[in-house]
Amino acid sequence: MEVRSVSPEFVGEVHGLNLTKPISDSNFADIDTAIAHFGVLVFPGQDLSDAQQIAFSQRFGEIENAHGGNPTQKKKRLNAQINDVSNLNTDGTPLARDDRRRAFNLGNHLWHTDSSFRAVPAKYSLLSARRIPATGGNTEFADMRAAYDALDPAMKSQIEPLICEHSLLHSRARLGFTKWTAEEIEMMKPVRQALVRQHPATGRKSIYISSHAGHVVGWTEAESKLFLSDLTEIATQRAFVYTHEWTVNDLVMWDNRCVLHRARSYEPGVVRDMRRTTIAGDEATVAQAA
């Protein structure tokens, strides 16, 4: 196994492993060290079945229960342990342009971190590219440790104690998606997250923002919205961003505690079949309101 550093420096490319087979403890330890150091790892050429993706993912911890992650998917195309981030209907054809499931999925095109709308947010995500469009459909990643390090000391002290309210309602409202049933609203109840996190393995601090963050607790709505959109702009400057241009059978893994990501657009009606396994986090970032 070899990990090559890609530019920018928070991305590593892993070669010499066959993830369709169980990996050794020593290879696993090397991946564990690499993901803590980099934040994003690319494993090219991994022709995985869903079961193989699940088995590899489970080496990193418990797979997050996907319930509540997409209230518009009443009937699932895939195994419950896989997040379907494709643009496909249960019959495998692309969703119609005006389908509300497609509208919901378009929320992934906003900068976010996975499951920040859960009280215990996700640790890692592993995204496998099964079918991709000929053009477009890249995924961008932004390093929130580098972004934090670059803040001036006054900004660092200002954000240190702040807590934000996160919900899927907030990220989807940004795209004008506001019509929900009472049951769906119940699934998207807001949670609180610290705005600054410290990584348990490296001790590095990072900015924990997301399109799911709608309010700064205790601030007015207008102040919150302006502040969060300014901070996102600062944190996602090109210097902190890696653009992944997918090849079929790439598996990309990232640490949601310190990296943001977003999908980039592609032609509607073209198949993009991407499947994500998500590793549950081990703690809340802040105590939840009663």
Binding site for ligand OGA (CB under 6 A): 85, 108, 114, 125, 127, 139, 261, 263, 274, 276
Of 109 and 156, which has the nearer Cβ to ligand OGA? 109
Q: How far is the CB of 282 from ligand OGA (least distance, A)?
A: 19
Q: Reduced to 3 states, what is the DSSP secondary structure of residue 202?
A: coil
Q: How far is the CB of 264 from ligand OGA (least distance, A)?
A: 7
Among Mn ion, ligand OGA, none, residue 85 binds (CB under 5-8 Å by kind): ligand OGA
Q: Please, where are the H alpha helices in 58-194?
A: 100-105, 144-149, 153-159, 168-173, 182-187
Q: How far is the CB of 281 from ligand OGA (least distance, A)?
A: 14
Q: How far is the CB of 138 from ligand OGA (least distance, A)?
A: 7
Interaction of residue 84 with Mn ion, rule CB under 5 A: no
- The DSSP secondary-structure symbol of 261 reads E
Among ligand OGA, Mn ion, none, residue 127 binds (CB under 5-8 Å by kind): ligand OGA
DSSP string, 42-81: EE-S----HHHHHHHHGGGSPBPP-TTS-TT-SS-SS-TT
- Angstrom distances, CA of residue 131 to CA of 81, 117, 165, 247, 257: 19, 28, 35, 9, 28
Kindly give, in sequence order, each residue whose CB lies less than 8 Å from that of residue 205, ignoring residues fewer than 6 positions away: 145, 148, 149, 196, 197, 198, 199
Which part of the chain contacts Mn ion (CB under 5 A), choosing from 112-120, 153-161, 175-183, 245-253? Answer: 112-120
- Angstrom distances, CA of residue 180 to CA of 66, 174, 177: 19, 14, 8
Interaction of residue 114 with Mn ion, rule CB under 5 A: yes
Of 46 and 105, which has the nearer Cβ to Mn ion? 105
Among ligand OGA, Mn ion, none, residue 159 binds (CB under 5-8 Å by kind): none
For Mn ion, the binding residues (CB under 5 A) are 114
